[in-house]
């Protein structure tokens, strides 16, 4: 009897059994017991390229003023001694999962949520941690297994957050596995070894406008006015072993990407010149407490033979922004 109960418990944790979806809820930010759960809508992108997936109701800051100047250093981790960035995370535990796209998109969202909330209330609260596992289970934006056939998409993740919303980590903590989307994997809890019901009342966090951008000027404008953005990079074996202490620079072929990070600001190094501040999702033991610095395309001002864009892992060529809706 105990083994049977334990087996049922494990099945529930992995997202089983399949549960009937109650309703199609896409507008409210609070999921209630009477309206129950968000129905997963299949995402049809057969007539769209990924770059065409966006919601845009107003011009971005970099479209309004393309020649805007910015301070030499800007870092959302240290705004007059105050940080607006959420906790660092590790996508590779409890097992390996190429879910960088989900971690980067949720971390950048959480940071922007904190920034927007501060502008509204004057209080800084960096405690928001969104459920990456919910996105893996229900967003139809990427998987842990066979990533070549199911590559993760930041834009599809934000599309799902725009239409349906994502709860915080307490609804479905990260397991680094592919679950079936059900009422329980959207938001569930366990009261003993045999009783693990879905939660009927929980908050979801939604995205308003979202879309793509590229280039140093647009990136700085978006970060400066709205908060961190998400960018694809080409993460080499050498980058994986980076231990910090310097601006990371490595020449890589253009147009190559295999990893996703968020960009939270920029600064100036005495030798390299201008650099980006990026957040990774490989734990605090990697890099510089989980962070790293990459040259911008205007780096190496004293070396006319070097262009920064060749040495920054292509970080400026494929980026995404998303505006949070405040609860």
Contact status, residue 94 vs residue 211, Cβ threshold 8 Å: no
Query: Which residues are designated catalytic?
Result: 100, 259, 280
In angstroms, how far is the first alpha carbon of the chain from the final one? 44
Asked if the peptide bond before residue 17 counts as cis, ω within 30 degrees of 0, the response is: yes
């Amino acid at each position: 009897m105990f083994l049977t109960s334990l087996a049922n418990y494990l099945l529930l944790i992995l997202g089983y059994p399949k549960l009937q979806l109650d309703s199609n809820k896409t507008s409210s930010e609070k999921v209630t017991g009477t309206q129950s759960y968000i129905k997963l809508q299949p995402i049809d992108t057969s007539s769209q390229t990924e770059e065409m997936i966006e919601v845009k109701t107003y011009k971005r800051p970099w479209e309004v003023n393309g020649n805007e100047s910015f301070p030499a250093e800007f870092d959302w981790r240290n705004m007059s001694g105050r940080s607006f960035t959420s906790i660092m995370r590790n996508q590779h535990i409890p097992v390996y999962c190429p879910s960088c796209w989900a971690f980067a998109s949720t971390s950048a969202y959480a940071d922007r949520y904190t920034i927007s909330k501060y502008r509204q209330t004057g209080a800084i609260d960096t405690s928001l941690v969104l459920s990456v596992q919910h996105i893996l289970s229900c967003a139809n934006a990427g998987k842990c297994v066979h990533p070549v056939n199911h590559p993760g998409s930041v834009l599809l993740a934000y599309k799902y957050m725009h239409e349906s919303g994502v709860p915080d980590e307490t609804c479905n903590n990260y397991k680094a596995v592919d679950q079936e989307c059900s009422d329980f994997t959207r938001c569930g809890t366990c009261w003993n070894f045999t009783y693990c019901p879905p939660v009927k009342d929980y908050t979801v966090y939604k995205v308003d406008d979202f879309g793509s951008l590229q280039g140093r000027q647009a990136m700085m404008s978006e970060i400066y006015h709205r908060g961190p953005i998400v960018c694809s990079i080409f993460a080499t074996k050498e980058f994986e072993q980076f231990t910090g202490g310097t601006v990371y620079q490595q020449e890589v072929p253009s147009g190559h990407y295999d990893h996703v990070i968020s960009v939270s600001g920029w600064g100036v190094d005495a030798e390299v010149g201008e650099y980006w501040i990026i957040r990774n999702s490989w734990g605090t033991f990697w890099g510089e407490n989980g962070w790293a610095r990459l040259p911008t395309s205007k780096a190496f001002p004293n070396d006319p033979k070097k262009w920064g864009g060749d040495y920054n892992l292509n970080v400026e060529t494929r980026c995404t922004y998303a505006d949070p809706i405040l609860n």
